[in-house]
């Protein structure tokens, strides 16, 4: 086979592969699970089963988990897989820290309607914020927006438009394009990533206390993502180095993780929520 023909065939295959990857990128980013496997009652926590609507008319589902004598409210944005029923470990940790928790499913996850998209996840987080502030009449200074992995980017997006009591970002990338270049070790792949989730840009516009938590053992989002986000964050800010992998760092770190969050809340937020 002539070399020119081989080059043409290889180039065609490459072009088709890149086109398909671009078109179906959302399937490589969002991994929603529709069925809820459990609920807070299974671990002895009372909760409210919620339904609220986004600005574009999508019905979302979530839980509100109260605690005795709360010192604030966590608005939690979870990662890109599963649904709220897979976050009981986080809910229990927040409860031990004496924080009420609002956790919700993005559109297309759990019992929430619709199909996930980048703009959709932002609108979903905004709807959760509105629910707390407008329906439950909670003082924004008492709300701590928190997100893990892609949820950290969504949390930062939300915090740039409001003034919460604080922002917590865990195991999060500087941007999705940066993350793709890190994971695949291909700098040029940034050009083919159509999603932004530009955490760095959002975080630079946030003006509330910020906690960035990241593990050196994170095998998906390398440690430098967390370091760069911390450098970009405005004061006051705190860095918490945890242990463990991308998905279990907060569990593996256990007491260290919870003590870090407790210190952040006590030092930077408690005065604003009293």
Domain for residue 26, yes or no? no
Contact 209, 167 (CB under 8 A): yes
pLDDT of 9 above 70? no
The number of domains in the chain is: 1
Domain for residue 4, yes or no? no
What is the mean predicted confidence (pLDDT) over 35-54? 98
Which element (helix H / strand E) includes 82?
strand 81-82
Range in 105-119, 173-187, 243-257 with the lowest mean pLDDT: 173-187
Centroid of chain to Cα 261: 16
Mean pLDDT of the chain: 89
pLDDT of 71 above 70? yes
Q: Predicted confidence band at 190 (pLDDT cuts at 50, 70, 90)?
A: low
> What are the start-end ranges of the E strands in 83-173?
100-104, 143-148, 166-170
> Which range has the top average pLDDT, 1-10, 185-194, 249-258?
249-258
Model pLDDT for residues 92-131, shown as the tens digit of each residue: 999 999 999 999 999 999 999 999 999 999 999 999 999 9
Question: Exposure pattern of 83-120 as b/e (b: 16+ CB <10 Å)?
Answer: bbbbbbebbbbbbebebbbbbbbbbbbbbbebebbbeb
What is the mean predicted confidence (pLDDT) over 224-250? 97
**CA distance linking residue 66 with residue 45, whole number of Å:** 8
**CA distance linking residue 80 with residue 91, whole number of Å:** 17
Contact 231, 172 (CB under 8 A): no
Which element (helix H / strand E) includes 217?
none
pLDDT of 4 above 60? no
Say what the pTM is: 0.89
**CA distance linking residue 252 with residue 218, whole number of Å:** 12
pLDDT of 21 above 70? no
Domain for residue 137, yes or no? yes
Domain for residue 12, yes or no? no
Return the structure tokens found at 267: 């030092």
Report the pLDDT value the prediction gives residue 186, as an integer from 0 to 100: 55
Domain for residue 10, yes or no? no
Domain for residue 221, yes or no? yes
What is the mean predicted confidence (pLDDT) over 35-45? 97
Domain for residue 19, yes or no? no
The CATH number that applies at residue 221 is 3.40.50.1820
Domain for residue 222, yes or no? yes
Determine the structural domain holding residue 165 and report its residue range. Answer: 31-273
Among 226, 227, 225, 213, smallest CA distance to 263 is for: 213
């Amino acid at each position: 086979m002539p070399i020119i023909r081989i080059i043409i065939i290889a180039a065609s295959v490459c072009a088709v592969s890149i086109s398909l990857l671009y078109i179906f990128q959302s399937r490589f980013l969002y991994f929603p699970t529709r069925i809820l496997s459990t609920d807070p009652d299974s671990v002895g926590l009372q909760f409210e089963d919620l339904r609220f609507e986004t600005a574009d008319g999508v019905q979302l589902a979530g839980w509100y988990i109260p605690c005795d004598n709360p010192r604030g409210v966590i608005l939690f944005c979870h990662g890109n897989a599963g649904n709220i029923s897979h976050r009981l470990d986080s809910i229990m940790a927040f409860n031990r820290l004496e924080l009420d928790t609002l956790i919700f499913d993005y559109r297309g996850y759990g019992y929430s309607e619709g199909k996930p998209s980048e703009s959709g996840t932002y609108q979903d987080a905004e709807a959760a914020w509105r629910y707390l502030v407008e329906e439950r009449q909670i003082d924004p200074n008492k709300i701590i927006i928190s997100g893990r992995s892609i949820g950290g980017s969504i949390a930062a997006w939300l915090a740039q438009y409001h003034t919460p009591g604080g922002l917590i970002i865990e195991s999060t990338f500087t941007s999705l394009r940066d993350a793709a270049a890190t994971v695949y070790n291909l700098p040029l792949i940034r050009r083919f990533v159509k999603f932004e989730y530009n955490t760095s840009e959002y975080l630079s516009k946030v003006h509330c206390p910020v906690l960035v938590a990241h593990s050196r053992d994170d095998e998906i989002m390398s440690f430098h993502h967390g370091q760069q986000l911390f450098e970009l964050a405005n004061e006051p800010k705190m860095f918490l180095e945890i242990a463990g992998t991308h998905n279990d760092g907060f569990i593996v770190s256990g007491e260290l993780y919870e003590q870090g969050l407790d210190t952040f809340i006590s030092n930077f937020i408690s005065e604003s929520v009293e």
